[in-house]
Amino acid sequence: DTGVSQNPRHKITKRGQNVTFRCDPISEHNRLYWYRQTLGQGPEFLTYFQNEAQLEKSRLLSDRFSAERPKGSFSTLEIQRTEQGDSAMYLCASSLERGGTQYFGPGTRLLVL
Amino acid sequence: LAKTTQPISMDSYEGQEVNITCSHNNIATNDYITWYQQFPSQGPRFIIQGYKTKVTNEVASLFIPADRKSSTLSLPRVSLSDTAVYYCLVGPNDYKLSFGAGTTVTVRA
């Protein structure tokens, strides 16, 4: 079990550019969550999947954000037309459906210049 | 999701026991109490979870009184590497997590 992995670990982009992050969950986990964390705050929920179905999206997830999990395995989070306020750590977690402790990946730190 | 209140920060010394109390007056019947630890530039790490009474694992103990309106995370004999932010979360066992600001624990030599 290699745990949850996220790529890239760091991303620097210019305002207005699109970025995409990838999360690979623990292999047998059918739930996958995305969170965002800004400096000094706890992580905030963005969205989650059960298998390939996106079951809930936070109001934080504006229409510039889109997440997919096409085959129920890895997931991608895309941010279009990035803004400086998007600068944050983007965290992915996975769990089993029942009694599911969430295990987090190392995160992708995004800096929008 | 139930709101939690925990101290903003705590200081301790190596070898001491650290106890962090979390208040959650509005905990629901199906809510569990979960604690995570987070080091800078890393994702949160699950420490312990409980529903009632006492839970102990190799890392920590969790004490939950009968009314479940508070809980205490106990870290025995801390070391410098236990310096981190500790989050208390309350909610259903299979749902999104709601983090507060956490408690920053600083362990000094």
Tens digit of each residue's pLDDT (9 = 90 or more) over B4-34: 999 999 999 999 999 999 999 999 999 999 9
pLDDT, averaged across chain A: 94
Q: Which residue of A has its CA nearest to B46?
A: A103
Contacts of residue A49 in chain B, CB cutoff 8 Å? none
Exposure string of B4-33, with b = 16+ CB inside 10 Å and e = fewer, is bebeeeeebeeeeebebebebeebeeebbb
Q: Which residues contact A55 (CB under 8 A, 6 or more apart)?
A: A48, A49
pLDDT band, residue A6 (cuts 50/70/90): very high
pLDDT range class, residue A72, cuts 50, 70, 90: confident
* A88-95 and A108-112 beta bridge pairing: antiparallel
Nearest to A99 among B94, B98, B100 (CB): B94
Q: What mean pLDDT do residues A6-18 have? A: 97
CA distances from A30 to A4, B9, B32 (A): 13, 36, 21
pLDDT score at B95: 83
Question: Could you tell me which residue, A97 or A93, shows the higher pLDDT?
Answer: A93
Q: Tell whether A91 lies on the interface with B, counting CB pairs under 8 A.
A: yes
User: Residue B47 and residue B72: Cα distance in Å, rounded?
Assistant: 13
Average model confidence (pLDDT) for chain B?
A: 94
**In the predicted structure, residue A9 carries a pLDDT above the cut 90:** yes
Residue A64, min C-alpha distance to chain B (Å): 22
> What local confidence, expressed as pLDDT, does residue B2 receive?
65
> What is the distance between the alpha carbons of residues A29 and A5, in angstroms, rounded to a whole number?
13
Reported as a pLDDT band with limits 50, 70 and 90, residue A17 is very high
pLDDT tier for residue B94 given thresholds of 50, 70 and 90: confident
Checking if the pLDDT of A1 tops 60, the result is no
d(CA B90, CA B55): 15
Query: Which of A35, A41, A97 is closest, CB to CB, to B101?
Result: A41
What's residue B1's pLDDT? 60
| Cβ of residue A25 closer than 8 Å to a chain B Cβ | no
Q: What is the DSSP letter of B16?
A: -
Cβ distance A92 to A7 under 8 Å?
no
Beta bridge partner(s), residue B104? B9, B85
Q: How confident is the model at residue A71 (pLDDT cuts 50, 70, 90)?
A: confident
- Three-state DSSP class for residue A110: strand
If you average pLDDT over residues A49-76, what whole number do you get?
93
Q: pLDDT tens digits for B34-86?
A: 999 999 999 999 999 999 989 999 999 999 999 999 999 999 999 999 999 99
